[in-house]
């Protein structure tokens, strides 16, 4: 694989736009290339990878069975750190789940046409990340068989939910986000499933993809409603994606704990989510691009360059938020607030704070240099730093803050148990297994949208301007 991307394919002149699909590919090429990934015989690397990832994924259900059978004490959560790895991992995964909808919704309504070749995979990644995220709060409630108490169903005690609680807001926000992400993803898939339906040769595939395509025919009388539905979903998802991580941040910000009780939390969490999400999109798209070299014409160096710029921007916003938190802690002159931040940076968890600062604030700064944005290895390494850094950020916010509450007599450190660690490793297996299944069985690139950004898709292509 070429390590440095050819800079001539990048957009050097801002007036003339670089082509979104390279090498003048035709519409037929796009369908056949993307569909071939689904149609061809399952490659050996896929079986090997899924055997590994699904074995790792098994750790999560095994550990959860052990937890349900024994009790929540098998996790390291204890006084005073009652929210620990589980909530850290929840916020970590739900944050990753933000990039997909950002790419599909916000970049759609701002008419960023380069999104078309990466939005499908990013949306799939969103769904899988939210699946991983949902596991943690669900089992953190302790008695998962009583989890229906979260829903406003009439019960024998005639007690209803506390709708003023940010934890209940979170239930609604995350479940709404998951549902809307599925709807958005599936709506985008319908025309492409029809393409696969019309191309496949075996009876079983024809039946399965035919059923999933819902009988799509591609008439303009259908496209008319389809486009309206798509832009409405994009318009609805835009405030939704901003609200979900804001609501997650309310879990912390509405409490009175020093270090959590801050108005900067919603925008800071949202920027962090986009930052971490884009890093994860690149973390999985770069290997996919290496395995399927023809994707290079659709996921071009220009795409990687743009995503690196988004990482640089949001990483800098996150860095600003970290510094502003420190400044306000000093400027606010609240001794508890000052102590909380002093403890974060110089207490026993200083290493987590230092990792967070280095990975999230320092490492993305290399993207100021075009060489780094166009070198796939450099991009990949920075993305791995960001993935780690965003996990440390949540750990710093949750564990170090709770380790020292108002009563010095109850101060204590958090120690993860082996169950904590294996459950978390298992969710990475689950995430990659789901993604491998997606790559194998569904069109990974949004074919109809990529066709629509080709120059010949314009009904006035080749005509003179009037």
Partner 1 sequence: MTTPTKTTGSSTAPIYAVGVEFDSARDLYHAAEKVRDAGYKRWDTFSPFPIHGMDTAMGLPKSWLSALVFIGGLTGFSTALFMEFGTSSFLYPLIVDAKPTNLMTIPAFFPIMFELTILFSALTATFGMLALNGLPRWNHPLFNWDRFKKVTEDKFYIVIEASDEKFSLEETRQFLQSLGGSHVTTIHQDETSNE
Pick out residues in 210-269 that bind partner 1 (CB under 8 A).
210-211, 214-229, 232-233, 236-237, 239-240, 243, 247, 250
Stretch that binds partner 1, among 4-12, 186-194, 330-338, 357-365 (CB under 8 A): 186-194
Stretch that binds partner 1, among 57-65, 307-315, 359-367, 456-464 (CB under 8 A): 456-464
Tell whether residue 26 is a contact of partner 1 (CB under 8 A). yes
Tell whether residue 429 is a contact of partner 1 (CB under 8 A). no
| Shortest reach from residue 456's CB to partner 1, in Å | 6
| Euclidean distance between CA atoms 150 and 141, whole angstroms | 10
Tell whether residue 160 is a contact of partner 1 (CB under 8 A). yes
Task: Measure Cα distances from 396 to 166, 244, 374 in Å.
Answer: 21, 21, 32
Cα angle: 100, vertex 102, 107; to 5 degrees: 115
- Spatial CB neighbours of 115, under 8 Å, sequence gap ≥ 6: 103, 104, 107, 108
Tell whether residue 464 is a contact of partner 1 (CB under 8 A). no
Tell whether residue 179 is a contact of partner 1 (CB under 8 A). yes
- Token pair belonging to 420: 């904590």
| Euclidean distance between CA atoms 288 and 396, whole angstroms | 32
Nearest alpha-carbon partner for 71 in 133, 144, 147, 131: 144
CB of 340 closer than 8 Å to CB of 402: no
Nearest to partner 1 of 235, 332 (CB atom) = 235
Footprint of partner 1 on 314-353 (CB under 8 A)? none
Stretch that binds partner 1, among 131-139, 209-217, 268-276, 343-351 (CB under 8 A): 209-217
Binding characters for partner 1, 347-386, by CB under 8 A (x = yes): ----------------------------------------
Nearest to partner 1 of 245, 289 (CB atom) = 245
| Euclidean distance between CA atoms 222 and 194, whole angstroms | 13
Tell whether residue 110 is a contact of partner 1 (CB under 8 A). no
Tell whether residue 33 is a contact of partner 1 (CB under 8 A). no
Nearest to partner 1 of 77, 101 (CB atom) = 101
Tell whether residue 162 is a contact of partner 1 (CB under 8 A). yes
CB of 432 closer than 8 Å to CB of 131: no
Nearest to partner 1 of 44, 465 (CB atom) = 465
Nearest to partner 1 of 133, 280 (CB atom) = 133
| Euclidean distance between CA atoms 162 and 154, whole angstroms | 14
CB of 314 closer than 8 Å to CB of 271: yes
Identify the H or E element spanning 34. Answer: helix 27-39
Footprint of partner 1 on 114-153 (CB under 8 A)? 152
| Shortest reach from residue 180's CB to partner 1, in Å | 4
Quick one: which of 11, 54, 161, 294 contacts partner 1 (CB under 8 A)? 161
| Euclidean distance between CA atoms 126 and 13, whole angstroms | 34
Nearest to partner 1 of 10, 183 (CB atom) = 183
Quick one: which of 10, 18, 22, 27 contacts partner 1 (CB under 8 A)? 27
| Shortest reach from residue 419's CB to partner 1, in Å | 32
| Shortest reach from residue 377's CB to partner 1, in Å | 35
Burial class of 243 by CB neighbour count within 10 A (0 to 12, 13 to 18, 19+)? middle
Nearest to partner 1 of 30, 124 (CB atom) = 30
Tell whether residue 23 is a contact of partner 1 (CB under 8 A). no
Can you say whether the dihedral through the CA atoms of 68, 71, 73, 78 is positive or negative?
A: positive
Q: How far apart are the first and last CA of the chain?
A: 45
Quick one: which of 133, 180, 284, 318 contacts partner 1 (CB under 8 A)? 180
| Euclidean distance between CA atoms 345 and 322, whole angstroms | 11
Write the DSSP symbol of residue 202: S
């Amino acid at each position: 694989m070429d390590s440095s991307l050819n800079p001539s394919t990048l957009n050097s002149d801002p007036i003339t736009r670089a082509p979104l699909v390279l090498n003048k590919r035709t519409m037929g090429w796009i369908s056949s290339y993307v569909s071939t990934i689904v149609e061809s015989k399952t490659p050996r690397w896929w079986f090997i990878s899924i055997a590994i990832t699904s074995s790792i994924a098994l750790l999560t259900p095994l550990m959860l069975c052990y937890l349900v059978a024994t009790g929540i004490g098998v996790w390291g959560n204890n006084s005073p750190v009652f929210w620990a790895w589980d909530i850290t991992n929840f916020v970590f995964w739900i944050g990753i789940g933000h990039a997909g909808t950002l790419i599909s919704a916000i970049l759609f309504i701002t008419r960023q046409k380069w999104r078309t070749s990466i939005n499908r995979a990013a949306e799939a990644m969103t769904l899988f990340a939210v699946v991983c995220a949902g596991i943690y709060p669900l089992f953190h409630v302790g008695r998962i068989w009583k989890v229906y108490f979260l829903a406003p169903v009439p019960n024998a005690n005639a007690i209803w939910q506390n709708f003023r609680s940010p934890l209940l807001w979170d239930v609604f926000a995350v479940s709404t986000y998951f549902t809307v992400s599925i709807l958005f993803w599936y709506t985008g898939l319908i025309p492409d499933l029809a393409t696969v339906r019309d191309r496949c040769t075996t009876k079983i595939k024809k039946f399965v993809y035919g059923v999933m395509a819902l009988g799509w025919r591609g008439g303009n009388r259908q496209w008319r409603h389809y486009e309206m539905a798509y832009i409405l979903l994009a318009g609805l998802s835009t405030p939704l994606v901003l609200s979900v991580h804001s609501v997650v941040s309310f879990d912390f910000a509405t409490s009175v704990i020093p270090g959590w009780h801050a108005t900067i939390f919603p925008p800071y969490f949202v920027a962090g989510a986009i930052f971490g999400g884009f890093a994860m999109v690149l973390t999985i798209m770069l290997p996919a691009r290496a395995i399927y070299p023809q994707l290079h014409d659709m996921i071009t160096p220009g795409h990687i360059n743009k995503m690196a710029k988004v990482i640089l921007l949001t990483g800098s916003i996150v860095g600003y938020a970290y510094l502003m938190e420190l400044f306000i802690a000093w400027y606010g002159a609240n001794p508890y607030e000052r102590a909380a931040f002093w403890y974060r940076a110089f207490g026993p968890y200083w290493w987590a704070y230092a990792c967070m600062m280095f990975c999230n604030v320092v490492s993305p700064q290399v993207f100021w240099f075009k060489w780094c944005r166009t070198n796939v290895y450099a991009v990949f390494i920075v993305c791995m730093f960001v993935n780690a850094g965003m996990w440390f950020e949540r750990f710093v916010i949750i564990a170090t803050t709770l380790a020292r509450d108002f009563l010095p007599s109850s101060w204590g450190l958090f120690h993860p148990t082996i169950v904590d660690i294996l459950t978390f490793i298992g969710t990475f297996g689950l995430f990659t297994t789901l993604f491998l299944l997606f790559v194998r069985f569904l069109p990974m690139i949004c074919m109809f949208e990529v066709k629509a950004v080709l120059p010949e898709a314009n009904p006035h292509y080749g005509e003179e301007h009037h």
